[in-house]
Chain A
Amino acid sequence: EVHLVESGGGLVQPGGSLRLSCAASGFTFSSYWMSWVRQAPGKGLEWVANIKQDGSEKYYVDSVKGRFTISRDNAKNSLYLQMNSLRVEDTAVYYCARGGSRNGYWMYWGQGTLVPVSS
């Protein structure tokens, strides 16, 4: 059974940093694109970033370019999102999802981790 478990969320001040992790199990992690998708409180879904199987391709939504970095460790079956220079508008539940290549799809999602950015 596929499991995606996010961790690392929590309250952070504007300008601060946070690193989210996603532990994957139940499938061959190294065979899939992986993505981060977020949802601000009471708002819709927003794709944040995705990464190719070997990490050679990474894409980001414009609003996080230069501040967020997606990475993965296939040996540890883990996906990461390093978030720097956080802004109030980055406040959201961050979901890890399997998939996300062009013309692909997200079949499996984690339960999400909440990142409130506030002073």
Chain B
Amino acid sequence: AQSVSQHNHHVILSEAASLELGCNYSYGGTVNLFWYVQYPGQHLQLLLKYFSGDPLVKGIKGFEAEFIKSKFSFNLRKPSVQWSDTAEYFCAVSPPGNTGKLIFGQGTTLQVKP
């Protein structure tokens, strides 16, 4: 079945460590890709998006993601995490031909230890 997979369900890091969260999707064709973040007690916020062009996308709060078409991947990275990055992170894909619909991964909970 077509889907979005996030490899890590729960990640624990110390402050200043580097972060990489994996996301793979199984849709062929042209897709739009997103990372959303949900901080404790807050609603989903858009971190970054990719539609076309430079496969390295920069988002808010120092996050970036790289689209690798051959690997159907859109991994999220941050060179140095902070305690305030503790949150749940969702990868989402807008499949080809149905741009009004987002398919979400199951989410990754990131816990950053001070």
Q: Do A and B truly interact?
A: no
